[in-house]
Amino acid sequence: MDFIKLIEVRSELGAGTRGASMGVDALKTACLDKGSDYFIRFDIAEVETENDALFEPTPYDHAKHVDSVYKVERRTCEAVRDAIEDGYFPLILAGDHSTAAGSIAGIKLAYPNKRLGVIWIDAHADMHSPYTSPSGNIHGMPLAIATGEDNKESRKNDPHPDTVKWWNKLKHIGGNGQNILPQDIVFISVRDIEEEEEFLIHKYVILNFPTSEVNSKGVEIIAEEVLERLEHCDLIYISFDVDSLDPKISEGTGTPVENGLSVEQAKQLNSLLISNDKVCAWEMVEVNPTLDWENAMAEEAFDILEYVTDSLSESREVSTRQKLDIQHPRNPSELEGYFRTIAEEIVEEEE
């Protein structure tokens, strides 16, 4: 199926450790080792990065390299929007997790009147702002950017006015400063939560399914409950950070945390979730081969990536055929977005 577009963002500006920019190429190495043709099956867009900024000191202590992050986020936003408007399902492979704010902004640009839910599969809540961040690393801030949340009630820092200026620009990429509502976020396996983030989780009653609950209920029930929670949303975006996996699998990611998901749980969970027609984009982030041994994390992550992509292709072909079957006569042009792309392929094959 030609409806998927890979968007590669080799940025690591938001991370606290170096090496996440090599994650995409580590996945490609894993692909070659497996003998797969994955990376020649799909159209690919590469987002220009600003990683050279890391060689220079940053004046923005509470939001490091925020000026350069802004440029990458804007480009990511435009790449995701363009993919959607061209009839593709964007599948984003990125370095550090700050990129997710740009991905969300791009979806919102493409669908300004749609309510977007977010499934965040991660060890961390990533809801800090320059006013609360203990590190200033922006990979811990993408959901604060997307929700426009400063969380000044939990203020610990006094960011410089120049930092605030860039922070406000970040929040307005793709919209008016709030691309998603905090209550439209669902966490899975988030287990390293800081006090300031806990405040927001309680304030907005954000649901978190810890790994223990995934273990006890099973991935099928968790997937059902997650989708039920976001039933009111028009669209859903899934962000999968490989640090959601248990570090016993591999420590090839910047911030590993104990008691994570197994590879099989990650495969099945992402597969079940992405099979829902409301899911309009999926992202994988934070593979860091410099922290790894023999590319172990990328090998596991690629298996997840390929499995989830196959589930996406199969589920969308089935649902598109169902949409066509209720039409009399069949007319692919009546379908929207990538469903039209799939329908045109189906009709062409059958003629």
CA gap 292, 307 in Å, rounded: 22
CA 85 to CA 233: how far, in whole Å? 20
The alpha carbon of residue 275 and the mean position of all alpha carbons in its chain are separated, in whole angstroms, by: 16
Ramachandran quadrant class, 111 (left: phi over 0; alpha: psi -120 to 50; beta: rest): beta
Domain ranges of the chain: 4-324
- Residue 1's pLDDT is 60
Per-residue pLDDT for 351 more than 80?
A: no
Yes or no: say if 280 and 4 are a contact pair by the CB < 8 Å rule: no
Kindly report, residue by residue over 165-201, the tens digit of the pLDDT: 999 999 999 987 799 999 999 999 999 999 999 999 9
pTM score, whole prediction: 0.97
Identify the CA nearest to 26 among candidates 296, 283, 250: 296
CA pair distance 15, 295, nearest whole angstrom: 19
What are the pLDDT digits (tens) for 57-112?
A: 999 999 999 999 999 999 999 999 999 999 999 999 999 999 999 999 999 999 99
The tens digit of pLDDT for each residue in 288-322 reads: 999 999 999 999 999 999 999 999 999 999 999 99
- Rounded mean pLDDT, 229-233: 98
- Per-residue confidence band for 146, with pLDDT thresholds at 50, 70 and 90: very high
CB atoms under 10 Å from CB of 12, counted, come to 28
Count Cα atoms within 13 angstroms, Cβ side, for 6.
20
What does the pLDDT average to over 257-284? 97
Q: Cα separation of 151 and 140, whole Å? A: 14
Q: pLDDT value at position 73?
A: 98
Q: Please report, for residues 137, 301, 322, the alpha-carbon distance to residue 71 in angstroms, rounded to integers and kept in the order given.
A: 16, 27, 41
Select the more confidently predicted residue: 216 or 176. Answer: 216
The CATH superfamily of 4-324 is Ureohydrolase domain (3.40.800.10)
The residue assigned the tokens 């802004």 is 70
User: pLDDT band at residue 215, thresholds of 50, 70 and 90?
Assistant: very high
pLDDT at residue number 327: 87
Residue 251 has what pLDDT? 85
Whether residue 237 is predicted with pLDDT greater than 70 in this model: the reply is yes
β-strand partners of 309? none
Q: Which tens digits make up the pLDDT trace of 36-46?
A: 999 999 999 99
Q: What percent of the chain has pLDDT over 90?
A: 93
Q: Dmax over Cα atoms in the chain, in whole Å?
A: 65
The whole-angstrom separation of Cα 315 and Cα 277 is 8
Contacts of 340 (CB under 8 A, 6+ apart): 87, 332, 333
Q: DSSP secondary-structure letter at 231?
A: T
- Please name the residues in contact with 224: beta carbons below 8 A apart, sequence gap of 6 or more: none
Q: Give the C-alpha separation, 45 to 66, whole Å.
A: 23
Burial class of residue 28 in the structure, from the number of CB atoms within 10 Å of its CB (0-12 exposed, 13-18 middle, 19+ buried): middle
Q: How many CA atoms lie within 13 A of 313 on its CB side?
A: 16
